[in-house]
Amino acid sequence: MIGGGVEQEAEKRELLGERVKIRPWRRADTLMQERWPRYSEPFSSLWNIPRPYQADRDDQFWTGATEAWAIELRSGTLIGRLSLREIDRQRQSARLGISLAQPYVGQGLGGEALRLFLAYYFGSLGYQRMVLDVAAFNRRAVRCYQRLGFVGLGSEWRHIGNEPVLRLLDEEQYQHLRPYFRRNRFDAQVEFYEMELTREAWLAAGGTLI
């Protein structure tokens, strides 16, 4: 159940999938993550623009703590990071964050890790709802979340200033991304989707619990 035992329970569990393993994040993992090669995709710098937390009348149930897990191959190679933030004990809800090292993107490993983690999140950890935000132009990530059962709640535009990478939108190969950006002389914005998955929807779609 959600409460004081959530973090303790998470520290005890190691989740094994077909190709990946999920375990608690360690201090040494942060240094390894910093050594991951940079993404070759030119717009990847805009994937993780921070979302400002919006306070409401139920703030007393929200905690600023972040819990993190490492994603490894079964061989032990660190390939990604999962995190929960905006943890709300009353609503039994949290916000997901996930990142994969560049060499392991596009192989279905992120989707496998998420399926494994969601079974634990809605099972042993006792959560009822997961939310996330994703750059709308990151179509690969959006499709992955949709396959897992996440549904859209809406979208918002986030300021990005005059990022040099925006010049690429004038090139033919990137014109399909234009609808996800708004530009004027002094500023630019990028669209982010807000998505959610409930425990009920996860189970209705055939999701398992561990």
Band of pLDDT at residue 61, cut at 50, 70 and 90: low
Q: Which two tokens stand for residue 129?
A: 């709802």
pLDDT of amino acid 63: 63
Q: What is the pLDDT of residue 13?
A: 84
pLDDT, tens digit, 9 for 90 and up, residues 166-197: 999 999 999 999 999 998 888 899 999 999 99
- pTM for the predicted model, two decimal places: 0.88
| Residue 101 banded pLDDT, cuts 50, 70, 90 | very high
Check if the beta carbon of residue 87 is closer than 8 Å to that of residue 4. no
Query: What's the pLDDT at 49?
Result: 85
Q: Which of 26-30, 64-68, 89-93 has the highest mean pLDDT?
A: 26-30
Gap between the Cα atoms of 183 and 22, Å rounded: 40
